[in-house]
């Protein structure tokens, strides 16, 4: 049995070994295990515990949304009544076409928006319709909103926020 310290150390090493990706081969966990000198089942168990702690959200792929046809990525921003933000955030978060949504600080008078929701659509019309759906949903709590269409990726690293 490894001590708690060892477990933390192993998690760190596993993160280092897999931050660029998981080996794409028949037994990926065995490859990692061999590098660490521990058993395959121990690596699986550590991943399992990192998932339970929320340190690993999931193991899977991240599509390049342009390549798979989601050309219209709209960052929508909303000026939501502060007292309603938890309820609004929850209901927007439940919409299946919203990928991320966050409360962020306003910067008055420059920037009045305190809520961000990311929408992806295959056409501009589809993305706009989705934004309108949100607008209908939050109309009693929202005084203004807008969309910031992305025109160009200027830099992208492997880090997913």
Partner 1 sequence: MANAKEKDSHVNSAFSSRKSKLLQQIVELDDLERSLINELQGDLPLVEKPFLAVADKIGSTEQEVIKCLQQLLDKGVITRFGPLFDISKGSGCFSLCALKVPESRISEVTEVVNSFTQVAHNYLRENEWNMWFVLACEDQKVLTETFDNILLQTQCRGINCPKEKEFFIGLYLPV
Which residues within the stretch 91-150 sit at the binding site for partner 1 (CB under 8 A)?
A: 92-94, 96, 98-105, 107, 110-111, 116, 120, 146, 148-150
104-109 contacts: CB < 8 A, separation 24 or more?
106/79
35: closest CA among 15, 57, 13, 51? 13
Kindly state the tokens that stand for 96: 């299946």
Under DSSP, the state recorded for 55 is: S
Q: How many other CB atoms are there within 10 angstroms of residue 66's CB atom?
A: 12
Is residue 90 within the footprint of partner 1 (CB under 8 A)? Answer: yes
Instruction: Give the one residue of 2, 9, 35, 68 binding partner 1; rule: CB under 8 A.
Output: 68
Which residues on adjacent β-strands are paired with residue 119?
74, 98
Q: Which is nearer to partner 1, 136 or 160 (CB)?
A: 160
Instruction: Give the one residue of 59, 129, 132, 143 binding partner 1; rule: CB under 8 A.
Output: 59
Q: Which is nearer to partner 1, 38 or 101 (CB)?
A: 101
Residues in contact with partner 1, counted by CB under 8 A, come to a total of: 76
């Amino acid at each position: 049995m490894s001590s708690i310290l060892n477990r933390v150390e192993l998690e760190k090493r596993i993160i280092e070994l897999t931050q660029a990706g998981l080996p794409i081969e028949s037994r990926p966990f065995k490859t990692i295990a061999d590098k660490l000198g521990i058993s395959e089942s121990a690596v699986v168990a550590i991943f399992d515990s990192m998932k339970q702690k929320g340190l690993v959200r999931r193991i899977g792929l991240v599509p390049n949304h342009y390549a798979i046809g989601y050309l219209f990525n709209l960052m929508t921003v909303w000026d939501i009544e502060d007292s309603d933000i938890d309820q609004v955030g929850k209901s927007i978060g439940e919409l299946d076409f919203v990928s991320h949504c966050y409360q962020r600080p306003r910067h008055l008078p420059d920037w009045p928006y305190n809520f961000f929701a990311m929408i992806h659509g295959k056409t501009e019309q589809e993305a706009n319709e989705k934004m309108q759906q949100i607008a209908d949903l939050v109309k009693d709590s929202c005084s203004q909103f807008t969309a910031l269409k992305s025109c160009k990726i200027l830099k992208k690293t492997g880090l997913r926020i």
